[in-house]
Structure 1
């Protein structure tokens, strides 16, 4: 297995190599919508993510139920009443890759990705870049758990290494 920083078959440097981690992107093994999260966050971290989306110019759409609205401040979203519908923010880091942020709580930034959109090295590189941008902005790890298997991350952005790393053994999957 090669690690990031070593030349890959694409000539550039990738965080992860598709051949090494493709099992983590198999919808039959992982569920098609794995949970991606940044633990131990605050309202300020949520706002930093919203600011990052705006700064990067990523296409996005904020909605509450079926109503599409302008993106509010994180504080306004996270202080809504407990019985209000959970809003979401759809973010497209590229035209064909979608991340859906859900504003469940201020202490964890969480979002879903569709593994069917993340097949192959090029899409993996986009995904790793997205995790890296969020992790660097928040200076916190960004973890991906199999769908419905919260707390058992298989990969994520490592702050110390400043790249996305494997956190589980692909052979066990």
Structure 2
């Protein structure tokens, strides 16, 4: 699967025409799950720091209450019956990622495929995955909604870019 040169000056990790099947709402669900496996509290904190450092717009909330972004350790050590907080992050005005603090050993977030149609938005998503993957030195994997453990694409640490992990023809 060589990169086609010449298109977009080679800046795109993935070409929309090659992967648009993975952004089909009927196939993938509208909210695929994205995860960084084998994570730690430190990784979560690194992601929170990255959001602040990049100046990405964000909003942290617990239930209906919007609060300042806490330290990752505080969120992840909350009582078991506490509401699952979420952190909404906008890498650009039109693309939203919602981080869910469900487990300290996995950084997980949802993206909305309705916002991710076309090459420009795909580039934003790939850039977001790359920032997180490079920071943590770990893969960032996207599974279809409700199909945990079957990633279709993700950031590959060795390749240092986002790659296709499933065969588009299979779906």
Q: Which category of TM-score, normalised to the shorter sequence, fits these structures?
A: over 0.9
How many residue pairs are counted as aligned between the two chains? 171
Cα gap change, 1:8 to 1:83, in 2 (>3 Å):
farther
Conserved in 2, the CA contact under 8 Å of 1:8 and 1:14?
no
Partner of 2:170: 172
Question: What RMSD, in angstroms, separates the aligned Cα atoms of the two structures?
Answer: 0.9
Conserved in 2, the CA contact under 8 Å of 1:8 and 1:17?
no
Matches within 5 A, 1:119-134: 119-134=117-132
CA shift at 1:7, angstroms? Answer: 1.9
Residue from 33, 36, 39 that aligns with 1:38: 36
The Cα offsets for residues 121-171 of structure 1, whole Å up to 9 and x where unpaired, read as 000000000000000000000000000000000000000000000000001
CA shift at 1:2, angstroms? Answer: 4.8
Displacement over 3 Å in runs of 4+: none
Residue from 27, 30, 36 that aligns with 1:29: 27
Cα gap change, 1:48 to 1:150, in 2 (>3 Å):
same
Partner of 1:62: 60
> What stretches of structure 1 of length at least 5 have no aligned partner?
none
Q: TM-score, structure 1 length as denominator?
A: 0.96
**C-alpha distance in structure 1 between counterparts of 2:133 and 2:150, whole Å:** 18
Conserved in 2, the CA contact under 8 Å of 1:91 and 1:100?
yes
